Structure 1
Amino acid sequence: MSSPASDISRRLGENAEAVCRRYLSRGRREGHYWMVGDIRNTPGRSLYVRLAASGDGGAPGKWTDAASGDHGDLLDIIAASCGHSSFRETLEEARHFLSLPPPPPDARRNPAPAKAPTGSPESARRLWAASKALRGSIASFYLAGRSIIDVLPSDPLRFHPHCFYRPSEDDAPGGRPAWPAMIAAVTNLAGAITGVHRTWLDPETMDKAPVAFPRRAMGHLLGHGVRFGAAGPVMAAGEGIETILSLRQIMPRLPMIAGLSGAHLAAIAFPAALRRLYVACDDDPAGVIALATLRERALERGIEVCPLEPQHGDFNGDLQTLGRSALAASVRRQLVSADRLTHL
């Protein structure tokens, strides 16, 4: 005997296109599918909903997001569209859409358990779990081409050989749907993964893939970052992963965090033990604003902020142009004397 939720899901599937037109209004029908950007009704073509049963047993109303790997049924879509906090709300909305009568009193006293939410952090954790070790991969050759040789097995970096790339309006039509990618874990202060950062790569050139946006992050990023080493009283922070990895070639013992953008760098959460923060400055307006914002926030916590300035735009440029010895000498002059012996 099927449950009320299963019966409602089946009925929704029988009216899949009508459900999509109501709750995924920014999408459109293409053949036997409804295409839209994601479960939150963003314009695009990553998420596809089956509108009719298929010969291989695929049921109408089932959907898959090719970018995140998430999948589900039309109840998930209604829950995301309406922002429901409980499964009961979703069932009530579905009954209203289908013009069904309310459930009997006994069913109301025993509501269905809350449905696990579908969200970007979970998608990020799935992608991280599906990724492989960095060593010997295209990603390791990409980093070596940028003079980044020393990457520890414990560093939050992995490799995915076939990572979906959602094209933007700036991409040429007909591009390949997936590329190899370097995957970096974004974590909070407790070490839990809240997102990932992807750098798509070209296996022929061992450089960034020829797409409009070869770097993208997903998940919850605000306050978090890609963390290298355990937090301590002295740390370094910067925008890009390559910037931080370049500094770690000469300061492998200093804990560091990559904020992934100027705005997110300015908003990183400060560990309780932090007393001095070196900020790897990018030579652009976003970098200037990030440094000023960090200084203002740090002052309230009694944290000293010390800028580290590159000679060639960013520290990866310095590493490739100057080499390790000259980069170390340049950074040494900018460190507090107590940190030179300990961290350099």
Structure 2
Amino acid sequence: MSDPIDDPGFGLSAEELADRLALVAEAVCRHYLSAGRRAGNYWIVGDVANNSGRSLYIRLTGPRAGRWTDAATGQYGDLLDLIRESGGLNAFRDVAAEARHFLRLPAATRPLDDTGRPVWRDGGASPERARRLLSMTRPIAGTLAERYLCGRGIDGAADHAALRFHPACHCRDLKTGRSLRFPALVAAVTNSIGEVTAIHRTFLDPRGQGKARIEDPRRALGHLLGNAVRFRFPPDGDVVAAVVGEGLETVLSLSQVVSGMPMAAALSAAHLAAFVPPAGCLRLYIAGDADAAGRRAVSTLRRRAEALGIRTQVLNPELGDFNEDLLHLGSDRLLAHLRDQIAPEDAAALRPAQ
């Protein structure tokens, strides 16, 4: 599948759309092949028609994430092929439309707003559920959430209104289906005009030993694509320069030494690739993680931002990500490392958080 997808502002080819699906391979499998189950780094199911069994296996992680083979029939392909086969779709345009719907990407014919940005699809009641849960939270000052972030080398997190705490947040055990409750760091995800579209939860160990001992202790609810957890964004007015990164802790680590610039955490590589730059932005600093998915996401966002006339600069960590840099190398070295990567006109933003 190599036909280009006519997508204003995104220009995604079939290969890029397949890569986007591969970043959330397990979610694709759970949606289209619900009769299967995870076994290590693979999703195992009977066939593309979602029958039970063990013939079809899909890689969930690594450079071959999203690639699948049916040992019984000899069929193989990527996740676009899987969507085509499972849905009985023939035309590539229909396959692409289904993939867009799953990823919450704007449709090829989706209109643009007055700024030239796509109007996002409304996928149902999830944002309302996210807002209701957010209303049950409280500030993180003095809570287990603040203690957790301090353990990651992040001070002053209580000053960020986007970060909240829930003392007994519901979550489901992904292996057994049991309903559980854990304390949680809850982050509000907002769109470009400040509306809450989703929340991100980091479930915590009640004894203060880091994240909860469950499969996938980081989970989201609502619409993330194109949106982000925002720090220091002005309530009104344009943003000339901003930083966007993948993980919450990555961006909060940068905020320790880049304290004079708005920042946004997109929360995953797929969502970083689809981040909508703020209105009026002239310079966008993209903090990438040092892995294949992070590099692909940075490349996609750079192309999109530069097509809008925004100058981009990639901020590269010395280790795996900027939280590792902060923890293992210290804030002074992190600050020195960033000096060479920040444009002279934004140098005043490089100062330790007070």
Residue 224 (structure 2) aligned to one of 221, 226, 237: 221
CA deviation after TM superposition for structure 1 residue 322, in Å:
1.1
Q: Is the 8 A contact 1:200 1:214 kept in 2?
A: yes
Q: CA deviation at 1:152?
A: 4.5
Does 2:331 correspond to 1:324? yes
SS at match of 1:299: helix
1:301 aligns with 2:308: yes
Given that 1:263 and 1:290 are in contact with CA atoms closer than 8 Å, whether structure 2 keeps it comes out as: yes
Tell me which residue corresponds to 2:127: 121
Shift of 1:183: 0.2
Rounded Cα–Cα distance in structure 2 between residues aligned with 1:314 and 1:202: 23
Cα RMSD of the aligned pairs, angstroms, is: 1.9
The 8 Å contact of residues 335 and 350 in structure 2, kept in 1 or not, is answered as: no
1:182 aligns with 2:182: no
CA displacement at 1:205 relative to structure 2: 3.4
Give the conservation status (yes or no) of the 8 Å contact 1:294–1:305.
Answer: no
Does residue 155 (structure 1) correspond to residue 161 (structure 2)? The answer is yes
Q: Is the 8 A contact 2:149 2:157 kept in 1?
A: no
- Post-superposition offset of 1:270: 1.6
Superposed CA deviations along residues 230-281 of structure 1, whole A, max 9, x for unmatched, are 1611000101000000000111221011001111011111222101111111
Given that 2:173 and 2:179 are in contact with CA atoms closer than 8 Å, whether structure 1 keeps it comes out as: no
Counterpart contact for 2:140–2:158, Cα < 8 Å: no
Q: 2:162, 2:192 → 1: CA distance?
A: 14
C-alpha distance in structure 2 between counterparts of 1:123 and 1:174, whole Å: 20
Deviation at 1:153, TM superposition (A): 2.8
2:261 aligned partner: 254
Opposite residue 216 of structure 2, the aligned amino acid is F
Give the C-alpha shift of residue 193 in structure 1: 0.3
Match for residue 143 of structure 1 among 141, 149, 164: 149
- Residue of structure 1 in register with 2:233 after alignment: 230
Residues 236-315 of structure 1: pairs in structure 2 closer than 5 A: 236-315=243-322
Identity of aligned residues (%): 46
Alignment match, 1:333: 340
- Structure 2 distance, partners of 1:328, 1:154, is 21
TM-score where L is the length of structure 1: 0.63
Mark the CA change 1:122 to 1:174 in structure 2 (over 3 Å): closer, same or farther: closer
1:279–1:308 CA contact under 8 A, matched in 2: yes
| Residue 63 of structure 1: aligned partner | none
Unpaired stretches in structure 2, ≥5 consecutive residues:
1-33, 35-122
Q: Deviations over 1:286-316 (max 9, x none)?
A: 1111111111101211101101111110000
Q: 1:206 offset after TM fit, Å?
A: 3.4
Number of the residue aligned with 1:134: 140
Find the partner of 1:165 among 171, 180, 184: 171
Give CA deviations for 1:64-90 in whole Å, capped at 9, x if unaligned: xxxxxxxxxxxxxxxxxxxxxxxxxxx
Q: Which structure 2 residues correspond to residues 29-68 of structure 1 after superposition, within 5 A?
A: none
Query: How far apart, in 1, do the equivalents of 2:160 and 2:296 lie?
Result: 32
Counterpart CA distance in 2 for 1:219 and 1:155 is 19
Using a 3 Å threshold, how does the CA distance of structure 1 residues 304 and 208 change in structure 2: closer, same or farther? same
SS in 1 for 2:197: strand
Which digits, 9 at most, give the CA deviation of each residue in 1:165-216, with x for residues without a partner? 11113xxx49771100000000001100000000000021330000001001
- 8 A contact 2:141–2:158 mirrored in 1: no
Structure with bigger gyration radius: 1
| 1:86-101 matches, cutoff 5 A | none
> Residue 144 of structure 2 contacts residue 208 of structure 2 at CA under 8 Å; is this kept in 1?
no
1:205 aligns with 2:208: yes
Whether the 8 Å contact between 1:141 and 1:206 is mirrored in structure 2 is: no
Task: State the AA in 2 paired with 1:156.
Answer: A
* Uncovered stretches (5+) of structure 1, i.e. residues with no partner: 1-25, 27-116
Which runs of 4 or more aligned residues in structure 1 lie more than 2 Å from their structure 2 counterparts after TM superposition? 152-155, 173-176, 341-344
Cα pair 1:200 1:215 within 8 Å, conserved: yes
**Offset at residue 154 of structure 1 (A):** 3.8
